[in-house]
Structure 1
Amino acid sequence: MAAADCTTLPYAATGAFSGLLTDYLARKPALAPFYHRFPELTAFQAQIEEKQAAYSPEARQRLVADLHAQYAELGNSAPPAVAANLELLARNTTFTITTGHQLNLFTGPLYFIYKIISAIKLSQELKAAYPLYDFVPVYWLATEDHDFAEINHFQLFGKTYSWAGPAGAASLGGPVGRLPLTGFEEELLSQLPPEVPAAFREAYENANTLSAATRRLATSLFADYGLVCIDADRPALKQALRPLLRQEIQQQASNQAVQATNARLTTAGYKPQVYSRPLNLFFLTDEGKRERLEPDAAPGADCTQVTVRGTARCHSQAELLALAESEPERFSPNVVLRPVYQEMLLPNLAYIGGGAEVAYWFQLKDVFAAFGVPYPIVLPRNSAMYLSRANAGKLAKLGLTAPDIFKPLAELKKQVGAQLGQEEISLAAQQQALAAAFQQVQELAQRLDPTLVKTVAAEAQKAAGSLAGLEKRLSKAAEARHETAYAQLSALKDKLFPEGGLQERTDNVLSILINNPGFIEQLITCFEPLKLEFAVVQEG
């Protein structure tokens, strides 16, 4: 892709990101206590050494064995680049760069794609900088998430496509990755436009669960880049949770760490992103639900230790510890402990996430310390706006550059108007002259007949109002001369900022891939994760 097809601007210049994120990228000292190493190339040598010392051969063996099993269960061998990376993961000189996301249908919003490409590109950049090591991009499937309503739909060309799921799925409250694809063909696949690429259909047609379908789709899109997908809702992998579960059940260590961090974040002027609970664990019930574990039941309850919310089930601490030892797969970490579980399983160096994820990772540094797990480098994913040829042409015709489109609409109208030769209408000077004239009249009235002062003031106010009304009418008249250009500007602004937000938070990748099959390759060329800037990608 030509350099002209990709431009960047500071995140702060977009006006679309939180103060915490822009302060992090600016390396504000107030945030320094909440992360370990800043995401820059030179920081990775120390991160490699730290992780290499902490990550055991047993952990690596467990990971590689189960990943082979996960791919084997799909019925086909892993694509060559993926298989090669699985082999590399068996070596103690191989590390991962990880991103994670919910199992959104058909990838959901564009940032799903941007996250994965950020992980791929960073892996490539690290290999070039540190040739003695290997780096594998990993997509962590959020299979244990139980919020079905968040993931059961996606938007394409202004239409929302939804899947009701198996009977009772909306109220089931179980891990979404386990959901069978009952009714998917009739409710969703058969409704898709015919131009949707076959790979998107086949991923769901050839899978039994939502987890398997999401893996198939991510693999079909990124197989050539060696992306490894991991589903951590596996009995073999959950064995790694035993020490974490013991410490959490006995000491409630994570909540204590988060609460202390939250107090410091608040003092520094930042609002905590996620809520921590006394026990940051869920329990996977026999009925398939994922229910919160709650210590210290209400007064008068039969169970005075730990209850499984929404059920009659309760356990003493000793019983819960015994379960954690014999059946760790019955436990599921919540948002506070899931990152720790991830870093225990993987030889990981960096986690790539969106702005909200960066914010909650900043609550977790002391949690990692409490469990003796190295805290990774936290890297904001690449964020981008895509400009089709048509939209790029409209922008150029209006005399605007890509960074201009982030300005408020009123400011853009003035800019376009100036370029089109529109006069800027302002009667401020006339208002001042009018006020001066009436001031003289008021002074005359004061000398000759003070009872007329109020009358003069009323006339002055009336005249000022009339002049202001004329200013508005003249402005509208000037604007009407370029009404077509302003209408085009407003339409373009709405198109590039759907529902007033960034395109990446609403639009699906199919809206681009259907007309630009080389889109992913464009992003691979364009994205530079460690540049830490917002990208504008123009159709090549």
Structure 2
Amino acid sequence: METISYKDSNYFSKLMLNYIDEDESLKNFYQLFPNKNNYIEQAKNKLKNYNHREILVKQISQQMEGLDLSKKQQKNLKKLAEKNTVTITTGHQLNLFTGPIFFFYKIMQVIKACKELNKEQDEINYVPIFWMATEDHDFEEINHFKYNERVIHWSKQFGGPVGRLSTEGLQEVFDYFFMLIPNGNKKEQLKELINQSYLSNDKLTDATRKLVHLLFKDYGLLMIDGDDKELKKIMVPTFEKELIESTSYQHVIPQNKKLEELGYSIQVNPREINLFYFPNDNSRERIVEQNGNYFVNNTSIKFSKEEIINDLHENPEKFSPNVILRPLYQETILPNVAYIGGGGEIAYWFQLKEMFNSFNADFPLLVLRNSMLIRTEKQLEKQQKIGLSNEELFLNSLDITKKRAIDSSKIAPQLPELENELKEIFEKLEKLSELTESSFADMIQAQKTKQLKGFEKVKKRLIHAEVKKNEELLNRIDSLLTCLSQQNGLQERIKNFSDFDYVDLHYFIDFIYDSIQPFAFEFIINTLNEKP
């Protein structure tokens, strides 16, 4: 296994690079930096304030009822009931068949972080939690995954919380998927996964829960669904304050301005009320306040202030936090110490610290998830034969070839010198022009601009000719990066776990687990032996 810096991958924002470098300018936007000592300090702080353990354990137990829990899951569920137990959490949308492979990386990082912390001390128990984003309603973001450069797409009309979506129609989607996969052990394992999850459950929440369970049960992972009446009862005081006072809006806007003043982009913008309402299973609409009345967007539903507060107390399951309030919901109901997420996720948490303070809620450690590039042994051999560095695996094939062509060219090194000579000639002409009328100076300046532009065209054509001589090398590099799915983005955001070359799925998952470095901030590159 090898690593490169996140900076050298050229795929991480200035905000994330500054965060992992512990830049002083960002320290007011989070509580503690996620080093190992701070996990323990954060856990001690959280345990002082947390008091929802009984209802949490009861609801997780009910939600996971019917699953064949592994011994590690049973042990973690029992641990969760103990007063010295905290959680480490990651969350994700209910992407069809997990979506891109980084889904595995973030979950495995949660699991491995808990294991290492439990191994090093016995004062506090750490339990891994996967938060299922069942209340999201952006179906277009989750209804597809890629296999062998084909998009496996689930077409359906739906506008409500995706967790309540019927799995009807998925048989045809997966029948097409199975047609693409060569016969063998891998195909049979994937079929079994799909049959036991998507094709044996009526709702997407249940199907996804079963899929995640089958993939990670041997590692002790617990799952939680926030679309739960009993859990939302805990949030009634928070949601009431949000409805009446627009609390989150008041505290997120100033944070956004501070981040923008430091030159960072804002990920999400708060609304005056950051809550949705469920009129039915097929709809999730914003709540809007106007002149003391509350309206549910795109419906005829209208409340007075007293009516909406009464409805909240009687039917909390109808209220749903948006992207601003969801982290607060998560951190309120869980004894959580750390959230592990991608760069975009972690970035919007920086907008939320003052909002957390206003609700007297503990702000978790923010952990940038591991990123990884997986290559086969054959791909490593090709990389070595071409002479590509690990850093070059993150560049465009044409840029790599162009640099190589310039470095090895006999012509290219002479071009800057010739360009300087051309500039010197015009500088001499400009001095001579001072001895005559000004119109002559203008003519020289115009000619200088014209000649330098012409020289630039000549330079580009010469370099293009040098690259052309290296066309075979360009094709070899392009072929390798295309196979790695690194040519137009990061592999981890393109390839699904089904798209990798392995014989045994559990061997592949163990390979990912072994590769993960839960407390390091580097881009991992590892080589997969195709046969266990």
The TM-score, its normalising length taken from structure 2, stands at 0.89
Counterpart of 1:346 in structure 2 is 334
Distance 2:117 2:423 in 1: 68
- Cα deviations by residue, 1:144-163 (Å, 9 ceiling, x for unpaired): 00111111111111101111
- SS of 2:223's equivalent in the other structure is strand
The equivalent of 1:181 in structure 2 is 167
Q: 1:196-222: per-residue Cα shift (whole Å, max 9, x none)?
A: 423432221222211111111111111
CA gap of 1:244–1:446, structure 2 versus 1, over 3 A, is closer
Say if 1:471 and 1:276 are closer, same or farther in 2 by CA, change over 3 A: closer
Task: State how many pairs are aligned.
Answer: 518
Match of 1:393 among 381, 402, 411: 381
Instruction: Give the 5 Å matches for 1:24-423.
Output: 24-56=19-51, 59-72=52-65, 75-165=66-156, 168-169=157-158, 173-192=159-178, 193-195=180-182, 196=187, 197-202=190-195, 203-286=197-280, 288-296=282-290, 304-407=292-395, 409=397, 411-414=399-402, 416-417=404-405, 422-423=409-410
Aligned equivalents of 1:213, 1:81: Cα separation in 2:
21
Q: For residues 263 and 423 of structure 2, what CA distance do their matches in structure 1 show?
A: 46
One-letter amino acid matched to 1:54: N
CA displacement at 1:516 relative to structure 2: 6.8
**Which stretch of the first structure deviates more once superposed, 385-394 or 432-441?**
432-441
Q: Which amino acid aligns with 1:281?
A: L
Shift of 1:508: 0.9
Task: For 1:15-30, list aligned pairs within 5 A.
Answer: 15-30=10-25
| Structure-2 separation of matches of 1:443 and 1:343 | 72
Cα distance in 1 for partners of 2:313, 2:442 equals: 88
Return 242-251 or 421-430, whichever deviates more: 421-430
CA 1:265–1:461: 2 relative to 1, 3 Å: closer
Q: Which residue of structure 2 lines up, in the alignment, with residue 300 of structure 1?
A: none
Shift of residue 269 of structure 1? 2.3
In structure 1, what is the Cα distance between the partners aligned to 2:448 and 2:351? 60
- Structure 1 distance, partners of 2:64, 2:447, is 84
What's the CA shift string for 1:399-442, capped at 9, x where partnerless?
122123224545522554478x5545333434555677799999
Alignment deviations for residues 54-78 of structure 1 (CA, whole Å, 9 cap, x no partner): 111xx11111111111111xx3432
1:536 pairs with one of 488, 512, 525: 525
Question: What code does the residue aligned with 2:525 have?
Answer: V
Distance (whole Å) between structure 1 residues aligned to residue 181 and residue 401 of structure 2: 39
How far residue 443 of structure 1 moved from its aligned partner, in angstroms, is: 10
8 Å CA contact 2:164, 2:281 repeated in 1 = no
Residue 3 of structure 1: aligned partner: none
In structure 1, how many angstroms separate the alpha carbons of the residues matched to 2:298 and 2:430? 77
In structure 1, the partner of 2:492 is 504
In the alignment, does 2:475 pair up with 1:487? Answer: yes
- Quick one: distance in 2 between partners of 1:276 and 1:452? 61
Query: Does the C-alpha gap of structure 1 residues 478 and 444 become closer, same or farther in structure 2, counting only changes over 3 Å?
Result: same
Question: How far apart, CA to CA, are the structure 1 residues paired with 2:513 and 2:132?
Answer: 21
Offset of residue 129 of structure 1: 2.8
- Measure how far apart 1:286 and its partner are: 3.3
C-alpha contact 1:352 1:378 (8 A) present in aligned 2: yes
Residue 460 of structure 1: how far off its partner (Å): 9.3
In 2 relative to 1, CA 55–423 (structure 1 residues): closer, same or farther, beyond 3 Å? same
CA contact (8 A) 1:368 1:375 kept: yes
> Does structure 1 retain, via aligned residues, the 8 Å contact 2:229–2:316?
yes
Contact 2:67 2:210 (8 Å CA) reproduced:
no
**Following TM superposition, by how much is the alpha carbon of 1:471 offset from its aligned partner in structure 2, in angstroms?**
5.3
Cα deviation digits, residues 506-528 of structure 1 (max 9, x gap): 21111115467433222211211
Bigger shift: residues 190-199 or 263-272: 190-199
Check the 8 A contact 1:427/1:467 in 2, yes or no: no
Equivalent residue in structure 1 for 2:513, among 507, 516, 524 = 524
Q: C-alpha displacement at 1:18, in angstroms?
A: 1.1
Indicate the SS of the match to 2:337. Answer: strand
Deviations 1:180-207 (A, max 9, x none): 1111102334443345423432221222
Query: Relative to structure 1, is the Cα distance of residues 413 and 371 closer, same or farther in structure 2, using a 3 angstrom cutoff?
Result: same
Tell me, in whole angstroms, the C-alpha distance in 1 between the residues paired with 2:443 and 2:303. 84
Q: Distance in 2 between matches of 1:273 and 1:285?
A: 28
Change (3 A) 1:277 1:471: closer
For the Cα contact (< 8 Å) 1:162–1:188, is it kept in 2? Answer: no
Distance (whole Å) between structure 1 residues aligned to residue 390 and residue 62 of structure 2: 46
> 408-417 vs 31-40, which deviates more?
408-417
**Aligned alpha-carbon RMSD (Å):** 3.0
Check the 8 A contact 2:402/2:463 in 1, yes or no.
no
Contact 2:337/2:365 (8 A) holds in 1: yes
CA–CA distance in 2 between the matches of 1:161 and 1:224?
A: 28
Inter-CA distance 424–398: structure 2 relative to 1 (3 Å threshold): farther
Post-superposition shift, 1:102?
0.3
Cα distance in structure 2, aligned partners of 1:98 and 1:452: 73
Counterpart amino acid of 1:126? L
Q: TM-score, normalised by structure 1?
A: 0.87
Checking the alignment, whether the CA contact within 8 Å between 1:143 and 1:232 is kept in structure 2 is yes
Partners of 2:471 and 2:227 in 1: how far apart? 57
Mean Cα deviation higher: 90-99 or 278-287? 278-287
User: Structure 1 residues 131, 466: CA separation in 2 closer, same or farther (over 3 Å shift)?
Assistant: same
SS of equivalent residue, structure 1 residue 536: strand
User: Which stretch shows the higher mean deviation, 515-524 or 220-229?
Assistant: 515-524
Change (3 A) 1:458 1:88: closer
User: What's the secondary structure of 1:374's corresponding residue?
Assistant: coil
Partners of 1:249 and 1:30 in 2: CA distance: 33
